[in-house]
């Protein structure tokens, strides 16, 4: 698995679901960072991640 750096974390129980995480990832992409949103099942959170750093 590739190393990724976690930039933000949003609870999966948010009434808007993954939208806040997706919006944050989009902001980062507009700034030139290749951000993605992934689900972290153990913490029940959506994570905004970029390549590199520690996983």
The position carrying tokens 């919006």 is 23
What's this model's pTM, rounded to 2 decimal places?
A: 0.85
What kind and span of H or E run contains 22?
Answer: helix 19-30
Query: What's the pLDDT at 17?
Result: 86
Compute mean pLDDT per 10 residues along the chain, 55 residues long, and list them.
88 91 97 96 96 67
Query: What's the pLDDT at 1?
Result: 57
What kind and span of H or E run contains 31?
Answer: none
């Amino acid at each position: 698995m590739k190393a990724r750096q976690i930039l933000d974390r949003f609870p999966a129980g948010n009434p808007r679901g993954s939208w806040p995480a997706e919006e944050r990832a989009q902001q980062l992409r507009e700034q030139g960072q290749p951000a993605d949103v992934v689900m972290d099942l153990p913490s029940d959170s959506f994570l905004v991640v970029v390549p590199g750093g520690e996983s």
